[in-house]
Structure 1
């Protein structure tokens, strides 16, 4: 199962969680990210929106839709 956790707080993401995606494709909760000490952010939105917007998350998206 490909469940993704926030690298800072360790919590599993829910589809409606607000997240940011940085230039190295790390997803982090918006509330957790330190905007002064992080990689540049290339996108933000809900976790579900980010998974749908980027094809390299397809395996994760498919796994979470099954569960």
Structure 2
């Protein structure tokens, strides 16, 4: 049985570059978005830094920050 690989820690004094972390996206009312699970939608509500309410046509979903599966079109 093997252990799952854990992410490597970056030391601030290391001469190698730290892995780049993607900045969280910011959405505004009316933005057209695509989601990996729900498909195309439009932002209809915002909770600053917490979540976005998105209308996907057949359903409205509250998508929590950091919006890993959602991108702005």
TM-score band, normalised by shorter chain: under 0.3
In terms of fraction of residues, the more helix-rich structure is: 1
In terms of fraction of residues, the more strand-rich structure is: 2
Highest relative contact order (Cα 8 Å, sep 6+), 1 or 2?
1
